[in-house]
């Protein structure tokens, strides 16, 4: 069987951390409010590094872990909604920074599902035989999209990057997938690009910042993610006991509790790190993979489900085997 073997994972986050208590010095909020509603206590914030710089630092760590020469990289996909520029793509900037001059590089935007979508795309390129390997990264400087006077959004997000390196092989990789989109609910979460974008009717959308109907996103995530994971499992003969972790997008611990309850699975089956990182959008799942890789937990044969949900609306689940 031709497969996209996952050879390494890695991540990078900016050094500077901001606690809930520190945030409450700038905006009317409290550690108690944020932590009890989201499970978030800290987030990393870029002090000037842009998205491509976080992505390139993660990329260097991933390639080193994979023992891969940058000149051998054939494909780079960066999932992001906070790229340095509209064009050039963040992936092209990463290509230049790491010296991967033989690669094809492009960005993919599917918000917090972006890494899941990007990994699915890279898997198809590799399995088709077009490319022998791929570097897939999720990277965001979400804090540059935030209005720090809007307490309902600015307390939720953080910055970071993570990713994986895939090589064409015979085992493991993406065993099953389920992807979906609902553009009819697009106005639930917007990051404005230009003044002609009139999709959103919320007052806060008059500003060039991320704006979100938090309750609608919450309900969507708890409704659609368990369905997506169930459909994914229906495509395999595996049981949940044969899956080591489910790694959902790290938006909110209450969303993850809701997903666990609907799937009748114990909470400790779900990997959670939003306590330290907040919601890093497309970077959240690969940061988790990078952490598990560094801990030596993603050994040959280990299976995990990654499950993204976010703006678009978009959602997607992949069953991965290392």
Binding site for ligand ACO (CB under 6 A): 29, 33-34, 37-38, 111-112, 151-152, 155, 189, 212, 214-215, 217-218, 251-252, 279, 281, 310-311
Omega before 313 within 30 of 0, i.e. cis? yes
Find the shortest distance in angstroms from Cβ 1 to ligand ACO.
33
Find the shortest distance in angstroms from Cβ 251 to ligand ACO.
3
Identify which of residues 200 and 233 has a Cβ nearer to ligand ACO in the complex: 200
Longest dimension (CA), the chain: 56
Identify which of residues 34 and 108 has a Cβ nearer to ligand ACO in the complex: 34
Find the shortest distance in angstroms from Cβ 183 to ligand ACO.
14
Burial class (CB in 10 A: 0-12, 13-18, 19+), 184: exposed
Find the shortest distance in angstroms from Cβ 147 to ligand ACO.
12
How far CA 128 is from CA of 4, 133, 269, 316, in Å, comes to 10, 11, 33, 21
| Given the residues 7, 112, 200, 205, the one annotated as active site | 112
Supply the DSSP string of 242-261, one letter for each residue.
G--EEEE--S-HHHHHHHHH
For 302, the 3-state DSSP assignment is coil
Q: What distance in Å separates the CA atoms of residue 149 and residue 207, rounded to the nearest whole number? A: 11
| Given the residues 92, 133, 249, 252, the one annotated as active site | 249
The residues, any chain, with a CB within 8 Å of residue 302's CB and separated by 6 or more, are 244, 321, 322
Query: Does the active-site annotation cover 16?
Result: no
* Strand order across the beta sheet in which 159-169 lies: 3-12, 159-169, 133-141, 75-79, 104-108
Identify which of residues 169 and 214 has a Cβ nearer to ligand ACO in the complex: 214
For 48, the 3-state DSSP assignment is coil
Query: Residue of minimal CB distance from ligand ACO?
Result: 310
The residues, any chain, with a CB within 8 Å of residue 320's CB and separated by 6 or more, are 6, 172, 173, 174, 175, 303, 304, 305, 306
Find the shortest distance in angstroms from Cβ 186 to ligand ACO.
11
Identify which of residues 92 and 139 has a Cβ nearer to ligand ACO in the complex: 139
Read off the DSSP letter of residue 270.
B
Identify which of residues 217 and 319 has a Cβ nearer to ligand ACO in the complex: 217
The helix (run of H) or strand (run of E) holding residue 210 is strand 210-212
Q: What distance in Å separates the CA atoms of residue 1 and residue 13, rounded to the nearest whole number? A: 36
Identify which of residues 44 and 151 has a Cβ nearer to ligand ACO in the complex: 151
Identify which of residues 173 and 226 has a Cβ nearer to ligand ACO in the complex: 226
Neighbours of 130 (CB within 10 A): 11
Q: How big is the chain, counted in residues?
A: 322
Query: Does the active-site annotation cover 279?
Result: yes
For 106, the 3-state DSSP assignment is strand
User: Catalytic site residues?
Assistant: 112, 249, 279
């Amino acid at each position: 069987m031709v497969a996209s073997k996952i050879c390494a994972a890695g991540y990078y986050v900016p050094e500077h951390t901001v606690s809930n208590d520190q945030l409450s010095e700038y905006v009317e909020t409290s550690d108690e409010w944020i932590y009890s509603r989201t499970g978030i206590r800290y987030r990393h914030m870029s002090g000037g590094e842009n998205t491509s710089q976080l992505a390139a630092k993660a990329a260097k760590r991933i390639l080193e872990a994979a023992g891969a020469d940058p000149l051998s990289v054939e494909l780079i996909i960066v999932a992001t909604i906070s790229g340095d520029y509209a064009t050039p793509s963040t992936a092209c900037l990463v290509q230049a920074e790491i010296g991967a001059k033989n690669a094809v590089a492009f960005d993919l935007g599917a918000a917090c599902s972006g890494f899941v979508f990007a990994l699915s795309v890279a898997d198809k390129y590799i399995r088709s035989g077009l490319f022998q390997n791929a570097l897939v990264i999720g990277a965001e400087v979400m804090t540059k999209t935030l209005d720090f006077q809007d307490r309902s959004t600015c307390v939720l997000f953080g910055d970071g990057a993570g990713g994986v390196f895939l090589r064409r092989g015979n085992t493991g990789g993406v065993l099953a997938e389920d992807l979906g989109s609902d553009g009819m609910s697009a106005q639930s979460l917007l990051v404005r690009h230009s003044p002609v974008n009139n999709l959103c009717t919320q007052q806060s959308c008059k500003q060039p910042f991320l704006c979100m109907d938090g309750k609608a996103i919450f309900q969507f995530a708890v409704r659609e993610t368990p369905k997506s994971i169930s459909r994914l499992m229906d495509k395999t003969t595996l049981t949940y006991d044969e899956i080591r972790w489910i790694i959902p997008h790290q938006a909110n611990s209450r969303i993850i509790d809701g997903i666990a309850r609907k799937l009748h699975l114990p909470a400790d089956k779900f990997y959670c790190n939003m306590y330290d990182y907040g919601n890093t959008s497309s970077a959240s799942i690969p940061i988790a993979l990078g952490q598990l890789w560094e801990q030596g937990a993603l050994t040959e044969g280990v299976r995990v489900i990654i499950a993204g949900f976010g703006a678009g609306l978009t959602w997607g689940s992949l069953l991965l085997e290392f």
